Amino acid sequence: MTATGRFAPSPTGPLHLGSLVAAVGSWLHARKADGRWLVRMEDLDTPRVIAGSADEILRALERYGLTWDGHVVYQSRRIALYDDALNALRAKNLIYDCGCSRADLARAASAPLGREPVYPGTCRDGLPAGRVARAVRFRTSHEIIGFDDRLRGHVEEDVAAETGDFVVRRADGVYAYQLAVVVDDAAQNITQVVRGADLLTSTARQISLQHALGFPTPSYAHLPLALNANGSKLGKRDGALPLPSLDEKRVSETLSFALRFLGTEVALDTPSRMLREALGKSL
């Protein structure tokens, strides 16, 4: 099968430095394998989507020489695929309706240090009296999910113990990231997922869904995060760069920083030449 990678930004603002690092890393891994590189807009969370951001991100990618293959996919246009996946999970009794509010979860849930709260299973055997269906949750088991991260080595997780039954469709009807990304990766024949380390803790949940739906599991590589001066993840709020508007010199300098951050030093040149040089070096 042809190696296929992808970059999947959320169009909630311009491409920032942290996302550029992820884009460059995933592009290099795909092209190094003589593979395809796809772009997918994760725009399901419509209240957070900023009009024009998707086009701005695409223009930025072009400025940085990060050419993609095929058409750009928008999650908001793929609801039927997520409906089908949810129906398949329900037919296997692998999902259930949950009537818990955020306040209920805050009172009942526990969380390992640095992790999301573990759902206590309140609605697992049916909605308690007086509650109505809100979210939909995936029924986890104590299967140990293991995978070999190309950058971090072998990783294992007991999803039931560390996360509990997790949401696949939110109370507002929006499909959750965990389900949507699994369905999209399978539909697009993604064979390698290269993304930021902040998503490492999502991987076991996604593999659980892949197993449940009979989807293949791609390879994973979780890149180090670009951090701000306070040691927090560099995001749109504190590190957004209007990348499409940068002059050619600044574009090359920013790309050089992203490549150095990923461990590849190249001569300052046009973006396309810098990326070609980077492909000739080890990742």
The answer to whether residue 112 scores a pLDDT higher than 70 is no
Domain boundary among 136, 162, 177: 177
Same domain, 99 and 220: no
Same domain, 161 and 188: no
DSSP assignment of 234-282, as one string? --HHHHB--GGGS-HHHHHHHHHHHHHHTT----S--HHHHHHHHHTS-
Q: Give tens-digit pLDDT for 188-246.
A: 999 999 999 999 999 999 999 999 999 999 999 999 987 655 555 555 444 445 565 56
Beta bridge partners of residue 233, listed in sequence order: 227
Quick check: 241 and 15 in contact, CB under 8 A? Answer: yes
Same domain, 171 and 187: no
CATH number at 168 reads: 3.40.50.620
Same domain, 264 and 147: no
Beta bridge partners of residue 203, listed in sequence order: none
Most trustworthy range by pLDDT among 72-81, 99-108, 115-124: 72-81
Same domain, 161 and 204: no
Range of the domain at 219: 4-78+182-279
Same domain, 218 and 154: no
pTM of the model: 0.91
Same domain, 242 and 103: no
Residue 83 lies in a domain: no
Q: Give tens-digit pLDDT for 33-87.
A: 999 999 999 999 998 999 999 999 999 999 999 999 999 999 999 999 999 999 9
Q: What's the CA gap between 67 and 39, in Å, rounded?
A: 9
What average pLDDT does this structure show over 156-169? Answer: 94
Domain boundary among 177, 212, 242: 177
Q: Which amino acid type is present at position 151?
A: L
Output the pLDDT for position 239.
44
**Do you know the residue count of the chain?**
283
Mean pLDDT of the chain: 90
Percentage of the residues of the chain whose pLDDT score is greater than 70: 89
Report the number of distinct structural domains present in the chain.
Answer: 2
Q: How confident is the model at residue 106 (pLDDT cuts 50, 70, 90)?
A: confident
Residue 88 lies in a domain: no
